[in-house]
Amino acid sequence: MNTKINSTKRIIVKIGSSLITDNGRGLDSTALNEWTRQIAEIKQQGYEVTLVSSGAVAEGMLRLGWNKRPSMIHDLQAAAAVGQMGLIRAYEDAFQALGLHTAQILLTHDDLTNRTRYLNARSTLRTLIRMDIVPIVNENDSIATDEIKFGDNDTLAALVANLIEAHTLIILTDQDGLFTGDPRASSNVRKIDLAEAGDPSLEKMATNNGSTLGSGGMLTKLSAAKRAARSGTDTIIANGKETNVLMRIIAGDDVGTRLKTSRPVMTARKQWLSNHLQVRGSVILDEGAIRAITLNNKSLLPIGVIATAGNFDRGDVVTCTNQDGDVIAYGLINYNFDETNQIKGMSSEKIEETLGYVEDLELISRDNLALDK
């Protein structure tokens, strides 16, 4: 690999639960101090660093005297609320000892799907970075529900990469990178040093068996790399237990797996559209409509819709899929579910005749379509 990261770059460092806790028994202060030391040294070299850190639930479990991770969502929320206090205090003390200020940013999926809150979060993060403050980002587990949770901090880190247009996302885990098979099950596998983010063949090599402490296995990391690529962000998946791993990555050493992106960078608005983890419904397209939006950069017209699913309103984000259910694009739809059902398969000239009014001749405007590349 041997590719040095340019010192003017903005990076995100994601640290998993297994690297920041003492086998789930609260925070590992030695490990935490080591992470802050490396981040401080990176910043001294001119890097802008945003930290996405797990560990709140494990710290909360220790403080509450729980030996087993709870399964009920409200118990997890309580543990996260208690543990977040200790996590941030530990980071604040460690960074202050090195002369750095920190800021806590807690996000839910709803914060990033609401356009106004999305823009506010982006402005806040960019302001903190400009002020040379280390933002520490985590999911707001104390209020998130199953319906709106990111699911893992790998996904959250990728969304933050889109949010601030980071140049590199470093995902630190307890494995050496992506292998051609599961290295824990077979020694006859090799590490992938360099690949293209979003390459479908990579998923066949990955397993989704994360550690017992975290919720994200290798598949979630590949998905995160694909999502980060939408803003032109490269992703590096590396073993956080290696000595000075961050410093070695910055220096360009052959560490972990680098997932590069060569795809065109999406506009900020289309990144926001494609980052909706929860959508209200979907429209199923015929082959002509798929060609029109993917190859010819056209809007989606009612005539190209075969069927619908879900229960969406005008202005909601929906997925555009083929007949096999594969996602082709995300878009803001101009008609609600019932209206779309009435006009699907029709030419735009018949909308008024069918509905008695016309909101728009297009079901989804091309400016409100983001391809799932």
Residue 111: both structure tokens together: 């914060």
Kind plus residue range of the DSSP H or E element containing 157: helix 153-164
Mean pLDDT of 102-116: 85
Check residue 7 and give its pLDDT. 45
The model's confidence at residue 68, banded by pLDDT at 50, 70 and 90, is: confident
Per-residue model confidence as pLDDT tens digits over 255-290: 999 999 877 777 767 777 777 767 889 999 999 999
Cα(8)–Cα(182) distance, integer angstroms: 36
Q: Which residues contact 20 (CB under 8 A, 6 or more apart)?
A: 27, 28, 31, 32, 35, 53, 54, 55, 58
| Beta pairing partners, 370 | 330
Residue with the bigger pLDDT between 244 and 254: it is 244
Q: Which residues contact 358 (CB under 8 A, 6 or more apart)?
A: 351, 352
Per-residue model confidence as pLDDT tens digits over 124-151: 999 999 999 999 998 876 666 554 455 5
* Neighbouring C-beta atoms of residue 296, cutoff 10 Å: 8
The DSSP letter of residue 163 is: H
* C-alpha torsion angle, residues 49, 119, 92, 140 (rounded to 10): -120
Residue 244 pLDDT exceeds 90: yes
Question: Residues in the chain, how many?
Answer: 373
Residue 111 pLDDT exceeds 60: yes
Cα of first residue to Cα of last residue in the chain, in angstroms, is 25
Mean pLDDT of 7-18: 85
Check residue 99 and give its pLDDT. 96
Check residue 41 and give its pLDDT. 96
**Residue bearing tokens 């594969």:** 326
Nearest to 366 by CA among 341, 334, 343: 334
Mean pLDDT of 342-347: 95
Per-residue model confidence as pLDDT tens digits over 169-195: 999 988 888 888 777 777 788 889 999
Domains parsed from the chain with CATH numbers: 10-270 (3.40.1160.10), 279-371 (2.30.130.10)
Check residue 271 and give its pLDDT. 76
Cα(85)–Cα(107) distance, integer angstroms: 15
**Residue bearing tokens 């604040």:** 92
The model's confidence at residue 88, banded by pLDDT at 50, 70 and 90, is: very high
The three-state DSSP-derived secondary structure of 25-60 is CCECHHHHHHHHHHHHHHHHCCCEEEEEECCHHHHH
Nearest to 285 by CA among 299, 265, 269: 299
Residue with the bigger pLDDT between 188 and 64: it is 64
Check residue 215 and give its pLDDT. 44
* Mean pLDDT, the chain, integer: 86
